[in-house]
Amino acid sequence: MKLLVVEDHPNLRSLLVDHLRHRGFAVDAVDTGQRALAAQCVTRYDAMILDLGLPDMDGQRVLEQRGADRDRPIPCIILTARDAVESRIASLDAGADDYVLKPFDVRELEARIRAVLRRASNSSVTLSCGNLVFEPRARQASVDGKALDLSRRETMLLEEMLRTSPRIVVKEYLEEHLYADSESVTLNAIEALVSRLRRKLANGGARAGIQTVRGIGYRLLPGRDETDDPA
């Protein structure tokens, strides 16, 4: 899952980014409304955490303009010091999915993010392929009931593959969704990540394999070897 944090206070922005990345999200962060709108034009985010008190425009304008060129605006959680009832009503009426007041507990904010994501994508539903099972709420994968020891990024990759299976996931989509824009990504980063996940699935006895579709991407299929499709 990839998030966009829109917060102009540098210390708070860093706190949010560090915590959410540690908890398994890919996170981009910006400090102005214009940058938030520009980021949404080039990247598809699963949710946005939005401060209303931005230096260049009111966050309410960002909320109203989010995803204007797409079928469905990204889910949005307002994170603000504005405690007036009128502000809450205006934001919720404009389509905000939640409204969190500062100061706040970052653990509660994370729980609210996950709740919004569940409503948006039904992410509480258990995902499976063959004898491979993934519990989105617990962020835990298992094979025949035995937990797999996956890294944060491997877990993110597996979730994307399971949600898309048996369709192909385009490589560029994985690069965009698994890494923040600020991260340095090598040319073979996705290939190396897929290779590690394949190895762990095979060693764990999973009756599911990641198939490479040359020049396009990957797909997860039950009972399939990890061989390439013909070019």
Instruction: Give per-10-residue mean pLDDT for the chain (231 aa).
Output: 94 95 90 94 90 95 76 85 91 91 92 84 75 88 94 91 88 84 77 95 94 90 60 36
pLDDT of residue 164: 86
pLDDT of residue 173: 84
Nearest to 51 by CA among 27, 9, 86, 80: 80
Q: What is the DSSP string of the chain?
A: -EEEEE---HHHHHHHHHHHHHTT-EEEEESSHHHHHHHHHH---SEEEE-SB-SSSBHHHHHHHTTTTSSSPPPEEEEES---HHHHHHHHHTT-SEEEESS--HHHHHHHHHHHHHHHH-TTS-EEETTEEEETTTTEEEETTEEP---HHHHHHHHHHHHHTTSPEEHHHHHHHHS-TTS---TTHHHHHHHHHHHHHHHTT-SEEEEEETTTEEEEEET--SPPPP-
Domains of the chain, earliest start first: 2-121 (3.40.50.2300), 127-222 (1.10.10.10)
pLDDT of residue 224: 57
Kindly report the pTM of this predicted structure.
Answer: 0.63
Residues 6 or more apart whose CB falls under 8 angstroms from that of 153 comprise: 178, 193
pLDDT of residue 70: 53
Nearest to 99 by CA among 132, 50, 53, 58: 50
